[in-house]
Structure 1
Amino acid sequence: MKPAIRFQGPRDLLRNKYLYMLMIPAVLFSIVFAYLPLIGISIAFQDFNPLKGIFHSEWVGLSNFEFFFRGQNWIVITGHTVVFNILFIITGTVMSLTLAVMLTELGKNAAVRTMQSVMILPNFISWPIIGLFAVTFFSADTGVINKLMDFLGMQPISFYTDAGVWPPIFVIMNLWKTAGFGAIVYMAAIVGIDKELYEAARIDGASRFQSIFRITLPLLKSTISMLFLLSLGNIFGGNLEMIFSLIGDNSLLFPTTDTIDTYVFRSLRTVGSLGMTQAIALYQSVVGFIIVMVANKLAGKLDKDSALF
């Protein structure tokens, strides 16, 4: 099917001028908020001085990148960032899919609508508020979890001094906050599946589980792939808001919780160099972009409908 409008030169622009005018707000928005800010990338190569501005600050080449890449610390921090995000993507996808399929199979009733509302509620609670609740649960002396463990005769856990317990806590907290909202996206995709396929499957004697694994999940492949590729763009993002809200600047927990974003945020407050922090942000963006492009290319070769572009 041919597109309704295809630009064919100035005459086409005049002929469809009102339709092209509808594009103006979106184009201006993209230019102002997406492309003009790219000038700030130059800060990564400058000894940036706010008084001198971007165009008059001294150029220092790749010196700002040495701040992050010297030594072995950047490898550990990058590893934490990637591992956390891989865990978040995998567990979030599996949980969101499971919830979506379960709620869809339950049908439309008041109980299901109530469950949907309860599931998406955590998505609208900010991480700083969740961090305050976390203190109530994880505090060594007055925490709910340690009081329960003491009641059961078990050894209490010192959450804010034991770095090993926090990676699974991050995964669980991220699931609690995001899985319900993600399920809504998959439920919308499931609703669009032709119901005649399920009716034909029932006539052929297929059970509900067989319908899920033979119809629902295969037809969700494109949606899963698209959301997965979009998630890969943030695989080098360090979830600053979540981590800082839950543990703050607790140096005892850095061995397992320090990510690129928390490192940059801490460095910005201690070193105060915008050039160094911008250099690390550029490193995150470039690598994330490369990962998305490679993953999209591979997805397109495996299944044309799974690629974003």
Structure 2
Amino acid sequence: MTTNASITPDVNISQDSRTAPKKKRFWKKSGFIKELAKNKAMFLMLLPPFILVFVNYYLPMFGVVIAFKDFNYIDGFLGSPWAGLQNFKFLFISDAAWQITRNTILYNLFFIVLGLIFAVLIALALNELRNKLAAKFYQSVIFLPYFLSWVVVAYLVLAFLDPNGFFNKTIVNIFNLQTVDWYASPQHWPYILVLVNLWKNIGYGIVIYIAGIAGIDQEYYEAAVLDGASKLQQIRYITIPFLVPFMIVTAIINLGNIFRSDFGLFYQVPMQQGLLAPTTEVLDTYIYKALIMSGDLGMSSAAGLYQSVVGFFTVLTANWVVGKINKENKIF
């Protein structure tokens, strides 16, 4: 009698374990880690600006608490008593509050609008120059003032507007005009400050728009020429539409600083002349002078927080309005 013997196969556990799917490590699953390993040099180049932004913009955010405290050096940062909203009253109960707020907003609006218009016009003009060497030369000359200190600019303006300066000694004699005491005539300074700001900062905007024009595909212009389009029509229907996103982004970013002022422009250029205060005093210079006189860090912190919050909501509002008009031109 024969019996069927069951033969049990010899299972190799080590082989089965090798064929089982392996669990991926975290660094292999993470796309960011892969990118970091792949582009180490690029991320290393990004490290210094990240550190700079963190140290200068994020760490100081802990100091916002000073805006709500009656700060004193004895009790320090954490020990000073709470003051609620008392520090913010300084900006609103002052007799000059309306005047300096009006000056700040109007100056910035003029800077944004005129800076945008003239930067685009000059960029278009430079782009039409056939001699590229001449175009680069003019671009460099226009961009040069951007790197000058406001102290240097202030003395250049002084050399021109001083009672014994270029205007009163040369221009007046050539055109038989009357001498003007510029530093005692506040009515002239809105125009002077707008012109000086344009002269110094317009080069930066021109570089942005020239870069935008350079990125436009030349096939659009070639097709327009074949259709008989003039140069002005090419600018109107090709160049300007391509530059609109650049204009919107720069305008929205600048609107975020509408409650801030270029301190050097308003403090250095008028040479701190008290007679010019009605037309040259803005929030930043007013806060600085008040801080120098009182030494109240709580008040200055409250002013900085107020400017930041208003600027933040201004950017959000402007971006929302742009999104309602054209969603493609929104920043976020």
Same fold per TM (> 0.5)? yes
Contact 2:27–2:34 (CA under 8 A) maintained in structure 1: no
Residue 112 of structure 2 is aligned to residue 86 of structure 1 = no
Match of 2:100 in 1: 77
Partner of 2:250: 227
Q: Which amino acid aligns with 1:19?
A: E
Report the CA distance shift for 1:92/1:27 in structure 2 as closer, same or farther (over 3 A): closer
Task: Name which one, 1 or 2, has greater alpha-carbon Rg.
Answer: 2
Determine if the alignment matches structure 1 residue 145 to structure 2 residue 167.
yes
Pairing of 1:151-162 with structure 2 (within 5 A): 151-162=174-185
Indicate yes or no: 2:309 matched with 1:293.
Answer: no
Query: Any unmatched runs of 5+ in structure 2?
Result: 1-25
User: 150-159 vs 202-211, which deviates more?
Assistant: 150-159
1:6 matched residue in structure 2: none
| Contact 1:13–1:20 (8 Å) recurs in 2 | no
* Counterpart check, 1:52 vs 2:75: yes
Structure 1 unaligned blocks of 5 or more: 1-9
TM-fit CA distance, 1:31: 4.1
For 1:143, give the aligned amino acid.
G
Indicate conservation of the 8 Å contact 2:158/2:165, yes or no: yes
The 3-state SS of whatever aligns with 1:106 is: coil
Greater mean deviation of Cα atoms: 102-111 or 60-69: 102-111
- 2:8 aligns with none
What amino acid sits opposite 2:270 in the alignment? I
Percent identical: 37
Distance 1:127 1:16 in 2: 43
Match of 1:60, SS state, is coil
Counterpart residue number, 1:120: 143
* CA distance in structure 2 between the partners assigned to 1:12 and 1:47 by the alignment: 52
Q: CA–CA distance in 2 between the matches of 1:181 and 1:67? A: 35
Q: Which amino acid aligns with 1:198?
A: Y
Q: Distance in 1 between matches of 2:94 and 2:139?
A: 48
In the TM superposition, residue 143 of structure 1 has moved relative to its aligned partner by: 1.5
Query: How far apart are the structure 1 equivalents of 2:86 and 2:59?
Result: 25
Q: 1:17 aligns with which of 33, 39, 59?
A: 33
Query: 1:31 and 1:118, CA in 2 relative to 1: closer, same or farther beyond 3 A?
Result: closer
- For residues 315 and 291 of structure 2, the distance between their equivalents in structure 1, rounded to whole angstroms, comes to 28
Cα distance in 1 for partners of 2:148, 2:259 equals 24
Asked if 1:166 corresponds to 2:189, the answer is yes
Question: CA offsets, 1:160-195, max 9 Å, x none?
Answer: 111010000011111111112210110000011111
Q: Does 1:216 align with 2:257?
A: no
Cα drift, residue 71 of structure 1: 4.3
> Compared with structure 1, are the counterparts of its residues 228 and 157 closer, same or farther at alpha carbon in structure 2 (3 Å cutoff)?
same
**Residue 156 of structure 2 aligns to which amino acid in structure 1?**
F
Match of 1:261 in 2: 284
Distance 1:180 1:16 in 2: 38
Name the TM-score, length of structure 1 as normaliser. Answer: 0.91
- Summarize deviations over 1:137-169 as a string: whole Å, max 9, x none: 1112x0111122144321211111110100000
| Residue 272 (structure 1) aligns with | 295
Equivalent pair of 2:87/2:302 in contact (CA under 8 Å): yes
1:198 corresponds in structure 2 to: 221
Quick one: structure 1 residues 28 and 20, their matched pair in 2 at CA, closer, same or farther if it must change by over 3 Å?
A: farther
